Amino acid sequence: MDGVRHFLLALQFFTRVPVTGRLAAWVGFSPAMLRASAAHFPGVGWLVGAVGAGVFVLAQSGLPGMAGGVAAALLSTIATVLLTGAFHEDGLADVADGLGGSVERTRALQIMKDSRIGAFGALALVLALGLKIALLATLAGQGAMNVATALLAAHVLSRLAPLFLIRWLPYVGDEGASKSKPLANAIGGGALLVGVLYALPAVLLLLFTQPLAQALAALGGCVLAASYMGALFARRLQGFTGDGLGATQQLCELAIYLALAWQA
């Protein structure tokens, strides 16, 4: 039952799904439990991806044509953003502001703690959301089920990637103030295995529903995006922050969409 509690805690932390009342009392809370819940981050991706896929398929069924595909992509993106409370998009904006606003490590970390959004963060959000909608609309030309597959796989696999950053990089955020601090301690091999097991069906989904070259490109793109972010944080910050995990999720998600939408 501990696994169920940890999953529900991850759901509460990473989404706006209410876990309240007697259910919340049963789940409980402690920093150790929150740390253990990180293993279920890809599991949360299955829910977010399913909601995004469901909204897209429903919207496109009533909104045909190219414009309908764009509208369906926009509605699907709105649904996932509302479900997660823009948790990861906020991380992307903060990382863009911090790394774009200063080359000096300490100053960059200070900027990332500022709740106000700057020019770099605003640009990153506009470009990332615009690209996401454009890629999903492009995939719509291949059929609604292709988009559903892309959304499911991308939301799961992009949430596995941050676990490797937690595993391999030190935490460099504000330990006293960050709500992500309990997640920051290096996760163990068992927790990482749980995350991989959540993600394995997403890998198989890509391999059995997409052309092999595109499926491999999507998986490779996710790995490359995560590796790039890990190298960037190691070089610029000497570690990762909670915002960095969110930014990594966003970049990996986009990399998967791009690979699946690309027509050689």
SS3 for the chain is CHHHHHHHHHHHHHCCCCCCHHHHHHHCCCHHHHHHHHHHHHHHHHHHHHHHHHHHHHHHHHCCHHHHHHHHHHHHHHHHHHHHCCHHHHHHHHHHHHHHHCCCHHHHHHHHHCCCCCHHHHHHHHHHHHHHHHHHHHHHCCCHHHHHHHHHHHHHHHHHHHHHHHHHCCECCCCCCCCCHHHHCCCCHHHHHHHHHHHHHHHHHHHHHCCHHHHHHHHHHHHHHHHHHHHHHHHHCCCECHHHHHHHHHHHHHHHHHHHHCCC
pLDDT value of position 264: 47
- Band (pLDDT 50/70/90 cuts) for residue 187 is confident
CB-count exposure of residue 111 (10 Å: 0-12, 13-18, 19+): buried
Least confident of 126-130, 146-150, 177-181, 221-225: 177-181
Give the pair of three-digit tokens for residue 143: 């059929």
Q: Is the pLDDT of residue 183 over 80?
A: no
What is the rounded average pLDDT of the residues 100-114? 92
| pLDDT number for residue 177 | 52
pLDDT higher than threshold 60 for residue 181: no
Q: What was the pLDDT predicted at 185?
A: 61
Dist. CA 159–CA 156, nearest whole Å: 5
Average pLDDT over residues 235-260: 96
pLDDT given at position 182? 57
Q: What is the pLDDT of residues 28-44, one digit of tens each?
A: 877 778 788 889 999 99
pLDDT digit string, tens, across residues 47-72:
999 999 999 999 999 988 889 999 99
pLDDT at 256 over 50: yes
Task: Calculate the average pLDDT of the chain.
Answer: 91
Interatomic CA distance for residues 111 and 100, integer angstroms = 10
Give the per-residue pLDDT at 36. Answer: 82
Predicted confidence (pLDDT) per residue in 75-89, tens digit = 999 999 999 999 999
**Predicted confidence (pLDDT) per residue in 125-145, tens digit:** 999 999 999 999 999 988 888
Residue 77: the pLDDT is 97
Query: In the predicted model, is pLDDT for residue 166 greater than 80?
Result: yes
CA atoms of 44 and 28, how far apart (whole Å) = 18
Residue 190 has pLDDT above 60, yes or no: yes
Identify whether the C-beta of residue 74 lies closer than 8 Å to the C-beta of residue 134: no
